[in-house]
Structure 1
Amino acid sequence: MMTINVAIIGGTGYTGVELIRLLSQHPHACIRYLTSRSEVGRAVSQIFPSLLGVCDVVYSDMTDEVMDEIGQNCQIVFFATPHGVAMKYTPALIARGVKVIDLGADFRLQNLDEFKQYYALDHTCADVLAGAVYGLAEIHRERIKTAQVIANPGCYPTTAILGLKPVIETQNHANKPLILKNIIIDAKSGVSGAGRNAKMNLLFSELSDNFSAYGVTSHRHTPEICQGVHDFLGSKFAHKIRFVPHLVPMIRGMFSTIHLTLTEEGQAMDWQAVFEKSYQNEPFVDVLPKGSLPDTRSVRASNRLKIAIHQDDDTLTILVVQDNLVKGASGQAVQNMNILCGFDETCGLSTEFGGCAVVP
């Protein structure tokens, strides 16, 4: 099978380094270029010693000349950059026939007004955005196969949308509502989800022995979750979604708890069976046996998302865990690359813990 050349734009952040780890062990991918504004001229193994002997590519600056060279020599370009960077360079790349997978938010939200509201940016290539595919394989696998631009989903939306998918799809085929109006998503993430930049609230002395909520009414992932539920899953009911994220004192991992109030029709459903059937053929979604409880350690450094369902009279609770840097970011990006290139979807991701994690 063919080998493809890839570039990672922004290869020193947590998601960029996870991409390096995963792609370095991928049998059909060759990392040709890594870019970094701050580490130009240094080999990746000098900065991340755990990659010594795994990847020794030298970082380049993200100049127009380098980007032009990347466009000539690579088939896939990953952007692991701050919001606004990918949309600047993507039009020229796809004009050359390069496929783009953006781990940022530039191509996630189809509503331009919402994008500007939540990211304080005007979108500069709305035509490219209109053709971008939201890269949640469990929903858009067929569209991903022919995409030019893939918007890698956010970490929180991955847990929320996949947690709700069997419920919304079942409800869409029901004659009466199965759940009442409110959907409550109570989510927790490790600190790596906030990025690698130094911030006061992320210092060890501030974060340790602490637990806090943030973005309660205005988190950037709220419209992405709503888009997934209403547009991608095609919910026929106007559910109000309350999403509350929290920061917990651990490095990596994500745990989302979704609470639904059921109607009488919803209470009569066997939701354990519904979830098992919905995900029975998905390689990276595990529905745990009835009565089980997931934990973040069980998915550490893997591309697996685990779901448990607990039904009690009129309340349905869905528990979802993943590694925010893998299934919530870089692993999902590799999964999208595999689908896009016609590789086995699990290629480079099938090992439960995917090799040694770079980020502790």
Structure 2
Amino acid sequence: MQQVQGVVARKKGAPVEIVTINVPDPGPGEAVVKVQSCGVCHTDLHYRDGGINDDFPFLLGHEAAGIVESVGPDVRGLAPGDFVVLNWRAVCGQCRACTRGDLHYCFATHNAKQKMTLDDGTELSAALGIGSLAEKTLVAAGQCTKVDPAARPAAVGLLGCGVMAGIGAAIHTGGITRGRSIAVIGCGGVGVAAIAGAALAGASPIIAVDIDAKKLAKAKELGATHTVDSSKTDPVEEIKRICAQVYEGADGADVVIEAVGRPETWKQAFYARDLAGTVVLVGVPTPDMKVPDLPLIDVFGRGGALKSSWYGDCLPSRDFPMLVDLYRQGRLDLDAFVTEEIALTDVEAAFDTMHRGDALRSVVIF
């Protein structure tokens, strides 16, 4: 067992604390990873504020890259010294989703069986089964995805959650391709990643919608062909207008991604898509939010698909190495998502920065 420093949320809404964490030696199927970088994600804030569940105390963090320090018995394909991006979809290979070939929907993903604890022995709930806002963390070996060790940890670690969620929402869930149009409502980290994914796929037009000029500028930098300030313009009508200019007869975008997680913006996405178009919800709502009041005839009459995107419907073993290779080739600017590099002691301040919308990602560097 080792003792390290980590960021813990002890109770709902209380400021996080830097405390001593006990990290067990890895058991069968487990690995200890020395964390090099970890993004501060909105999901961590959800955990701190009780928006996920009440299993306090939480060891926060899940967007991380690092070096495997040790592995437990029966671990194959992973060894000390490997550079990895951590993921929260370590497929089981045995559940209904896996046996029908849909590994990206695995219903029983693996986590470490042992618990990390506080110094007094209190068991910690690791955020998304990872808990990587700590100098070292214990995970299931399947949560470690090996990638090119020459890559910058702060950039590629973000594939562990937000960036992969956005890129996958566009490419995997939305099925965006050349010759199709896309609009993204909400241009935080996930939304801008969806725009980057759409640009990789060759979509056009790529329409970014937000109320923040700085976020729209970043969206433009990462591939948006058009921007819409929805505080000044009706986004539904503007999306329809832009798409009709490009494709005669279009009545909206082929794919509309909702990256906010609110009923009112989801309703905008519903009406901003073309006939037989696709709506993708990747923004995370709170439990009290309800689907907006929609006439059922509109659901039927517009056709198409209403989808939710879980982790960008990704398969980490397939997608992480590919996206890191694109990053290394200069075709995917993951560095653009790193707004600031901070210390472990700055996590609470990073939540304030997040509230203000001043950063795509604050990344802790160890």
Query: What TM-score do you get using the length of structure 2 for normalisation?
Result: 0.32
Query: What TM-score do you get using the length of structure 1 for normalisation?
Result: 0.32
